[in-house]
Structure 1
Amino acid sequence: MRKYLAAGAVAAAAVLLAACGSGQVGQSGSNGSAPPPNKNLVLIPGVQAEPFYISMQCGAQAEAQKLGYTLDTSAPQKFDAALQTEKVNALGSNPPAALLIAPTDDTAMLAPIQQVANRGTKIVQVDTSLKDSSLAVSSISSDNTQGGQLGADTLAQLVGDRPGSVLVLDTIAGTSTTAARAAGFTEQLKKYPNLKALEVQFTQNEPEQAAAKVTAALAATPDLIGIFATNLNTGEGAATGLRNAGKIGQVNLIGFDASPAEVTGLRNGEYQALIAQDPAEIGKQGVDQAVAALEGKPVTPKITAGLHSITKSDLDASSQYFYKQSC
């Protein structure tokens, strides 16, 4: 009997030692199971509390939940490369499986995004992009050049043959999306000899600065007939400038995006047209491409979202393109 007990003790010790050895070769858990896959996604938009990016977040969140992933959003307080870099750096040593990001500067954001990519995170660009997009598995945005062209065509239809000058308000130099819109608009406007684009003015994405630029343009340009604002903050500031000068309806304001304030402004005659994007679809597609990359499925490197010209006459029929303030 003593021999059998001793043999059993030796066998048990051997099993225990084998189990410890299996743990030492890197398997997770006492049963040797593999670690669970990282299903955490992070969205870092351009700025917080902006209806465009809120709508994008809503689309991304819904799609992530549908596909069995989690998505956290971390947005800077202002559209600023330094503030966005802080958000990217905060991902630290626990990077997400994929990062969806709208770079606030097409050059300055390269280094911090590169650091995250070096940790194995898949990068998807949404809305804006870097000059060097090789880090990203996919980039999803509107065709912003086409959006600018659509704005010029819409303005030309509104003013007819009347001659005049047109102010173009951009946001911050180095912002890929708004730069493309401004360039597309000014180039397309050359097709209409009765309209002349003034030098592009930058607003630093601040409505107050946009209002001040409009005030200055009205004083210096008596024949000002139109304004093209390249995003919602610039458009809202331009509307304020026209309102303060008593020029609402006298100068045609073409805004980009369709925030609640812009939609109300179009309904009230402060805007004459809006060029609306589809940010919820951009967010959805961003998640789809990130998940495809993570799961080894085919990825589409570049996706173009739709654009829509909205005037007061078709406002109600275009409600599906209005941006949200909450999900």
Structure 2
Amino acid sequence: MKTLAALATASVLVLGLAGCASGGTDDAAEPTDTGSADGGGLITIIVNDPSNPYWKTEGDVASAVAEELGYEATVGAHKGDANTENTLIDTAISNKSVAIILDPANADGSIAAVKKANAADIPVFLVNAEINETGLAKAQLVSNNAQGAALGAQEWVAAMGEAGEYVELFGAPADNNAQTRSNGFTTVISQYPELVQVGKEVADWDRTKGHDKMQSLLQANSDINGVMAGNDEMALGAIAALKEAGKLEGIVVGGFDGAPDAVEAVIAGEMAYTVLQPVAVFAEEAVVLADTFIRTGEAPAEEKQSFDCILITADNAANMTAPFTYTP
């Protein structure tokens, strides 16, 4: 588990790239009635599915930072289900949490959960995914998905030689990130008329579904030479299916997240690239912002903050010094 100092170093790198404001404590305002100068208490962290290394890192980093700042921390998972998320929010309220760090299950369906926490006077800080309403969460911290998608698509187009037939694996439709990435891919690829999409399937960010949907797409489109995937898990599932069919050679596969398995696939030449989301950075930042609010009552000046992504190819993959951590 990373130390706070190591995480802070990563924050300097990616926040500099993103150019977005952070809620540090050096210039904190005088405590207000809504803050407790001593801090402390329970911070509840709710992620999607820790079987995915991206979300596991999100929970691990947030809990480590919370504990280093003097809080207790607990991590729960909703696995994309709004009802489970609602139950976890109820538990956080009954446990008298002083803050909730939430990766929302659903852009629309999670709004009620945030409102419920607000009604209990528990501040909510969203990470990784947004909800379709502002003014409820104290902060919404996400990767710059449009920028990351453009980075990946430009690399993919070059690897494809600007021509060919391809398929796309789309993430969970309830997560706005899925559509943002797909739109980002299309914005770049549409500039190249000889690149033709012949199939598209929803695989819900999942490796097994990525594998199964890739099998179906391959049966219907045996001559493809490219795969665009909205995240690494779907891309890795596609690679497994392509290997089984003896079709991987000559097919350009792109991912998104910067997961350790994906980085290894890039190094091995099985994946053309992955796009690193700085999840360790914004998971840390969310807890720092929560700590500032708990102690001072000071919320971030900007509710929505985005953190730029980094393209990972065979040329710079060795700079991944820890899971989801890039060191130039």
Superposition TM-score tier, normalisation by shorter sequence: 0.7 to 0.9
CA distance in 1, matches of 2:39, 2:58: 25
For the residue of structure 2 that corresponds to 1:309, the secondary structure is: strand
User: What do residues 153-202 of structure 1 show as CA deviations (whole Å, max 9, x unaligned)?
Assistant: 010121224x2122221122111122211121122211222212345321
Task: Report what 1:64 is aligned to.
Answer: 66
**Structure 2: where are the runs of 5+ without partners?**
1-35
TM-score normalised by L of structure 1? 0.81
Tell me, yes or no, if the aligned pair for 1:43 and 1:99 is still in contact at 8 Å: yes
For the residue of structure 2 that corresponds to 1:246, the secondary structure is: coil
CA distance in 2, matches of 1:322, 1:241: 25
CA distance in 1, matches of 2:80, 2:239: 21
CA distance in 1, matches of 2:236, 2:88: 27
Task: Report what 1:181 is aligned to.
Answer: 181
Task: Report what 1:217 is aligned to.
Answer: 217
* Pair 1:146-2:143 in alignment: no
Task: Report what 2:255 is aligned to.
Answer: 255
Structure number with higher helix proportion: 1
Moved more, 203-212 or 149-158: 203-212
Deviation of 1:70 after TM superposition, in Å, equals 2.6
CA RMSD of aligned residues (A): 2.3
CA distance in 1, matches of 2:87, 2:150: 35
User: What do residues 288-323 of structure 1 show as CA deviations (whole Å, max 9, x unaligned)?
Assistant: 22122222235142222231111123211x213633
Letter in 2 for 1:160: G
Taking a change above 3 Å as real, the CA distance of residues 198 and 186 of structure 1, as seen in their structure-2 partners, is: farther
TM-score normalised by L of structure 2? 0.81
Tell me, yes or no, if the aligned pair for 1:143 and 1:304 is still in contact at 8 Å: yes
CA distance in 1, matches of 2:297, 2:48: 28
Structure 2 matches for 1:158-173, cutoff 5 A? 158-161=159-162, 163-173=163-173
CA distance in 2, matches of 1:259, 1:35: 38
Tell me, yes or no, if the aligned pair for 2:169 and 2:201 is still in contact at 8 Å: yes
Taking a change above 3 Å as real, the CA distance of residues 160 and 230 of structure 1, as seen in their structure-2 partners, is: same
Higher relative contact order (CA 8 A, sep 6+): 2
Tell me, yes or no, if the aligned pair for 1:46 and 1:75 is still in contact at 8 Å: yes
For the residue of structure 2 that corresponds to 1:256, the secondary structure is: coil
CA distance in 1, matches of 2:254, 2:37: 53
Tell me, yes or no, if the aligned pair for 1:59 and 1:282 is still in contact at 8 Å: no
Tell me, yes or no, if the aligned pair for 1:231 and 1:255 is still in contact at 8 Å: yes
Taking a change above 3 Å as real, the CA distance of residues 37 and 152 of structure 1, as seen in their structure-2 partners, is: closer
CA distance in 2, matches of 1:56, 1:312: 25
Deviation of 1:122 after TM superposition, in Å, equals 0.5
User: What do residues 27-50 of structure 1 show as CA deviations (whole Å, max 9, x unaligned)?
Assistant: xxxxxxx99866321110111232
User: What do residues 41-71 of structure 1 show as CA deviations (whole Å, max 9, x unaligned)?
Assistant: 1110111232112222233233323433232
Question: May I ask how many residue pairs the two structures share in their alignment?
Answer: 288
For the residue of structure 1 that corresponds to 2:108, the secondary structure is: coil
Task: Report what 2:272 is aligned to.
Answer: 272
Letter in 2 for 1:107: D
Structure 2 matches for 1:1-327, cutoff 5 A? 39-76=41-78, 78-161=79-162, 163-294=163-294, 295-299=296-300, 300-316=302-318, 318-320=319-321, 322-323=323-324
Taking a change above 3 Å as real, the CA distance of residues 298 and 102 of structure 1, as seen in their structure-2 partners, is: closer
Task: Report what 1:23 is aligned to.
Answer: none
CA distance in 1, matches of 2:166, 2:90: 41
CA distance in 2, matches of 1:60, 1:35: 21
**Structure 1: where are the runs of 5+ without partners?**
1-33
Tell me, yes or no, if the aligned pair for 1:139 and 1:303 is still in contact at 8 Å: yes
The percentage of counterpart residues that share the same residue type is 23
Taking a change above 3 Å as real, the CA distance of residues 91 and 244 of structure 1, as seen in their structure-2 partners, is: same
**Segments of 4+ in structure 1 off by > 6 A?**
none
